[in-house]
Chains A and B, each alone.
Chain A
Amino acid sequence: MSMQASASKAARNEIRFDYRPDSTLMIELTGSWRLGNELPAPREIERQLESDGRPRCVAFDATNLRTWDTSLVAFVARVVASCAERGIEIDRNGLPEGLKHLLKLAENEPAHAVSESGSGDRRVVYRVGKAAIEFAQSSLGLFNFTGLVVIAFARLLSGRARMRLSDLIVQVQGCSAQALGILSLISFLVGTILAFMGAVQLQQFGAAIYVADLVGIGIARDMGAMMTAIIMAGRTGAAYAAELGSMKVSDEVDALATMGISPVEFLVLPRVLALVMMMPLLCLYADFIGMLGGAAVAAGVLHISFVSYFTRTAAAVTLTTLVGGLFKATVYGVLVAIAGCWRGFEAQAGSSAVGEVTTAAVVDAIIWVVTACGLFAVVFNLLHL
């Protein structure tokens, strides 16, 4: 009745099980137990504990143990826990002195344990209910936050908000010129993709010139605004959440509040305003670059000259379409900024919090933007725009 954890090399940890006649299971620990080595499989121990001649007591023999570290403590702790579950006695006398101490430390009860700290009921119903409550609470928090932003905006209009112009300028900088590079790249590519998709179909009917209509209207109406919004969600929305989240975690937001300066006015307002002001401009730029992408495909693949392409585009894209797109971009700007700032303020103490809220901000922003895009499509359709 003996088992060896691995090929017998002196440097490896080894355990041997040995049944004593007084139904004691003697676990013999030998070799060197290092964190780098593999631990014996837990199932092996459980099998021993549940075998036919169920032991009444488990004891350890460490006379041939060479060196040990936390890996042995972890192993013994697991054995102790398995035994406790099965009501088997544990005799610790054979363990090294130091290990006994470490084990005792690990078993110390916390000064006052909190009963409902998570690890309770894990059933599906419980988790679904919990998630639903959390969702309701977070939606409530979002409405609350949006309300605060609206109030702050009203105070700004009446000249009572505590917002510094310099902060607004810094934020505008961050979400305008610095975003142009990536915005150009993405819009150009989206323009070419749209053009290619259209070209394949339209060429069959000899209507290649209508690529200009397709790209122009598609970009001006929806794609320009949406691409800008998604890029800004990843760039600026994430930055808002990260900045405000780390300020929240290090008490900087509280420090503002307890000074009588509203964090929403001082921190959120300049960020929302900056994005709302810049989004239409960025979108206009993205529209133009996207159409340029379409023109490049038209010239290269369909042999349509730039002049005829842009003449066609100008005829197809009405001012209403263009302004409608810019309006959508402005709304998306509000959504992205609110998602970033709201999530940032939700950060709770802890070093992982900032990363979590940043991810959540980007995901929220993209979901809201795409949803809004769908709603706009329906509403604009009803209004015959």
Chain B
Amino acid sequence: MEQTADQPAAQPWHIEVRDLAMAYGDRVVLSGINFTVKRGEIFIIMGGSGSGKSTLLRHMVGLIEPATGEVLYNGVSFTRADPGEREAMLRRFGILYQGGALWSSMTLAENVGLPLAQFTRLRPDEIREVVSLKLAMVGLKGFEDFYPSELSGGMRKRGGLARAIALDPEVLFFDEPSSGLDPLSARLLDDLILELRASLGATVVVVSHDLASIFAIGDGSLFLDAESGTAIAQGNPRALLEQCEDPRVHRFLTRGQEAASQARNV
């Protein structure tokens, strides 16, 4: 186990999800989920509303324990790891929550600086410098001393991103990064994700139902379906659009345009 962690290149998959089943109480939401994500890949989790995308993401970062199955990073099981190991793995994650989830009692600089203060040996003035750098990367230079309540929704999201990349994570998770943003900001965020992947070499997992962004940044993807309670397709989103036979996937990826035009013709 130690060896695989030391030589990540030997492991073909960065993230591996094995036979995962998820339930809230007695109600099984998803089951039989299997997929792998290569290092440096941008992986999209898509599906209709209520299909369990956020639930899957919460399982991957350990906020909920799976009913069965496990999640592995670099070939090491995250699900079975003991608390100490798990904390070490968590430190290599960066997570952007849907609303940003900045800590409301702290300024933007304190938000981004907290992980640095907790997990590094940097001195306060060095932390301040790193924080400014990270905020500049997401276009929030000069907002260091603003509280989250004084920022707009889009700025909070970018602030959350700055916090997520504070410790130069290996894996970035995004829950609906473009929801609530205007089309242009959403586009800029996509570019930012691509740049971060290139500069940090991070693997990125994105929950999204923004088609433009799915096609623009997705390398691989997983399509969840609420009715069957499992994944019904996976692969490159553009390839899925061209080749996937399943009408549900096709309808989603074409925004139901065919169905609509059929309806008009009738």
User: In the bound complex, do residue B97 and residue A254 qualify as a contact, i.e. CB atoms below 8 Å apart?
Assistant: yes
B226 engages A258 (CB within 8 Å): no
Residues B227 and A112 in contact, CB atoms below 8 Å apart: yes
Residues of B within 8 A of A116 (CB): 27
Q: Which residues of B contact A260 (CB under 8 A)?
A: 87-88, 90-91, 119
CB contact under 8 A between A252 and B118, given known A258-B61, A258-B93, A260-B91:
no
A371 in the interface (beta carbon within 8 A): no
Q: What chain B residues lie within 8 Å of A256 (beta carbons)?
A: 103
Contacts of B115 in A (CB 8 A): 259
Chain B residue contacts of A250, Cβ below 8 A: 99, 101, 104
Contacts of A112 in B (CB 8 A): 50, 226-227
Q: Do A261 and B101 contact each other (CB < 8 Å), given the known contacts A111-B226, A255-B95?
A: no
Q: Is B263 an interface residue when CB atoms closer than 8 A count as contact?
A: no
Contact with A along B50-65 (1 / 0, CB 8 A): 1000000010011100
Across the interface, do A258 and B104 meet the contact criterion of CB distance under 8 Å? no
Contacts of A252 in B (CB 8 A): 101-104
> When chains A and B are docked, how far (Å) is the Cα of A259 from the Cα of B119?
10
B69 at the interface (CB under 8 A from A): no
Inter-chain contacts of A259 with B (CB < 8 A): 90-91, 114-115, 118
Kindly state whether residue B48 has any CB partner on chain A within 8 Å. yes
Contact (Cβ within 8 A) B87 A258: no
Smallest CB–CB gap between B209 and chain A, Å?
14
Q: Which of B100-141 contact A (CB under 8 A)?
A: 101-105, 114-115, 118-119
A90 within 8 A of B: no
CA distance A261 to B160 in the complex (A): 16
Q: Which residues of B contact A114 (CB under 8 A)?
A: 27
A59 within 8 A of B: no
- CB within 8 Å of B: which A252-290 residues: 252, 254-261
Question: Contact at A255–B226, with CB atoms within 8 Å?
Answer: no
Does B34 count as interface, using CB distance less than 8 angstroms? Answer: no
A187 interfacial by beta-carbon distance below 8 Å: no
Q: Which residue of chain B is the closest to A257 with respect to CB atoms?
A: B63
Q: Per DSSP, are chain A's interface residues mostly helix, strand or loop, or mixed?
A: loop
How far, in Å, is A203 (CB) from chain B's closest CB? 54
Residue A56 lies at the interface, judged by CB distance under 8 Å to chain B: no
The reply to whether the CB of B98 lies closer than 8 angstroms to some CB of chain A is yes
Least distance between B94 CB and chain A CB atoms (Å): 9
Q: Which A residues lie within 8 Å of B226 (CB)?
A: 111-112
- For residue A256, which residue of chain B has the nearest CB? B103
With an 8 Å Cβ cutoff, the count of chain A residues facing the other chain is 19
Q: Provide the A235-262 mask, 1 if CB < 8 A to any CB of B, else 0.
A: 0000000010011001110111111110
CB nearest neighbor in A for B96: A255
A258 to B86, CA, bound (A): 10
Chain B positions within 8 Å of A246 at CB level? 104
Please give me the residue from chain A that is nearest to B163 by CB atom. A255
Q: A112-B226, A260-B119 are in contact. Are A251 and B99 (CB under 8 A)?
A: yes
Contact yes or no, A162 B118, CB < 8 A: yes
Select one of B58, B62, B91, B103 contacting A255, CB under 8 A. Answer: B103
Q: How far is the CA of A259 from the CA of B93 in the complex (A)?
A: 8
A114 CA to B99 CA, complexed, in Å = 26
Nearest A residue (CB) for B160 = A255
Residue of A nearest to B83 (CB): A262
- Render A135-174 as a binary contact track against B, CB cut-off 8 A, 1 for contact: 0000000000000000000000000001000000000000
Contacts of B58 in A (CB 8 A): 254
Interface string of B26-63 (1 = CB under 8 A from A): 01000000000000000000001110000000100111
Which of B48, B105, B118 has a CB less than 8 Å from the CB of A261? Answer: B118
User: By CB atoms of chain B within 10 A, which of A116, A243, A250, A259 has the most?
Assistant: A259
Which A residues are CB-close (under 8 A) to B105?
243
CB distance from A134 to the nearest CB of B (A): 12
Q: Are B91 and A251 in contact (CB under 8 A)?
A: no
Please give the distance in Å from A136's CB to the nearest CB on chain B.
Answer: 14
Shortest distance from the beta carbon of A259 to any chain B beta carbon, whole Å: 6
List residues of chain B with CB within 8 A of the CB of A255: 95, 97, 101-103, 160, 163
Give Cα distance in the complex from A322 to B184, angstroms.
67
Is B103 a contact of A247 with CB atoms below 8 Å?
Answer: yes
Nearest CB in chain A: distance from B82 CB, A: 14
A250 vs B119: C-alpha distance when bound (angstroms): 24
A10 to B48, alpha carbons, bound, how many Å?
A: 48
Interface centre among B48, B58, B114 (most CB of A within 10 A): B114
Q: B63–A254 contact, CB under 8 A?
A: yes
Residues of A within 8 A of B97 (CB): 251, 254-255
In Å, the complex CA distance between A126 and B50 comes to 28
Interface 0/1 of B193-223, CB less than 8 Å to A: 0000000000000000000000000000000
Query: CA–CA, A260 to B102, complex, Å?
Result: 16
Known pairs A255-B102, A260-B90. 9 more at Cβ < 8 A? A114-B27, A116-B27, A243-B105, A251-B99, A255-B97, A257-B62, A258-B62, A261-B114, A261-B118
A-B residue pairs in contact (CB < 8 Å), sample of 23 = A111-B49, A111-B226, A112-B50, A112-B227, A114-B27, A243-B105, A246-B104, A250-B101, A250-B104, A251-B97, A251-B99, A254-B63, A254-B101, A255-B101, A255-B160, A256-B103, A258-B61, A258-B62, A258-B63, A258-B95, A259-B114, A259-B115, A261-B118
Point out residues on B near A: beta carbons under 8 Å.
Answer: 27, 48-50, 58, 61-63, 87-88, 90-91, 93, 95, 97-99, 101-105, 114-115, 118-119, 160, 163, 226-227
